[in-house]
Amino acid sequence: MREKQFILGEIKRTAILNRNEPLGQTKFRTETGIAPHEWAAHWPRWGDALEEAGFARLQWTQALDEEQILDEIAKLVRKYQRYPVKNEVAIEKRGGAKVPAPSVLFRRFGGKAEIIRRLRDHCSLNEEYSDISSILANEQIKTVTEVDAFQSTTETSKSKLSGFVYLLKSGKLYKIGRSENHWRRKSELHRQTSEGITELHTISAIDDAPGIERYWHERFKDKRQHGEWFDLSADDISAFKKRKFM
């Protein structure tokens, strides 16, 4: 059974990687391998776990009310006098607006073009949104989809890696370290041990290689033998190998 403090740490870590937004139960399990019955041993509801980790309860964890979401987007359209861009939606959410995060909107409705179409229909049925219907009538829907935009952003992030965090095996022990060039570092390590090494996995660090290395060292601190060398289990190795980017 996972310890309470470890689960809280994972909630905070995954939230940081998700632009300071805590994950829902399903994605949290996918990202960490922590099953609902494990966190439920400490908290009766997922919202309780999030609160103890320092986050507000998720507002959209249940079946989404489409009209409520469209109402919230309509308020932002009125405020900006146009459809807001992703950064503006994220800023409004951080400021307390009930609008879902851009990633949630995309999963729920699809790209910007589809959201605007749905919003136009929604506003046309409600007189109080007549001004918003006029604003949306002038909104140009780009031909490039948000999927393409998301992929472009992802590729840009990948091209600006801050380094690599690697897992190597030598004899019965495993080394977790980092390097700006993991191939050069691998060659150096080969010269340092008579038993040779086997590279098991490498995580590409998008933004903070030292922080990611510290995370894994802290996670396996009870299994540290010396320096960056650990006596890891098959489950530990599996957890590390689930990550390609962090």
Please tell me the total count of domains within the chain.
Answer: 3
Q: Which amino acid is at 7?
A: I
| CA 30 – CA 34 distance, rounded (Å) | 8
Report yes or no on 58 lying in a domain: no
Supply the pLDDT for residue 155: 42
Report yes or no on 38 lying in a domain: yes
27 with 82, same domain: the answer is no
Task: Please give the structure tokens belonging to residue 234.
Answer: 């098959």
Report yes or no on 130 lying in a domain: yes
pLDDT in tens, 1-25: 689 999 999 999 998 988 888 888 7
19 with 77, same domain: the answer is no
pLDDT in tens, 51-107: 899 987 665 444 456 777 888 899 999 999 988 888 888 888 877 778 888 777 777
72 with 92, same domain: the answer is yes
0.85 exceeded by pTM: no
Domain of residue 234: give its range: 163-241
Backbone angles phi, psi at 186, to 5 degrees: -60, -40
Report yes or no on 176 lying in a domain: yes
Q: How far is CA 2 from CA 5, 21, 33, 46, 162, in A?
A: 9, 22, 11, 15, 31
Report yes or no on 23 lying in a domain: yes
113 with 78, same domain: the answer is yes
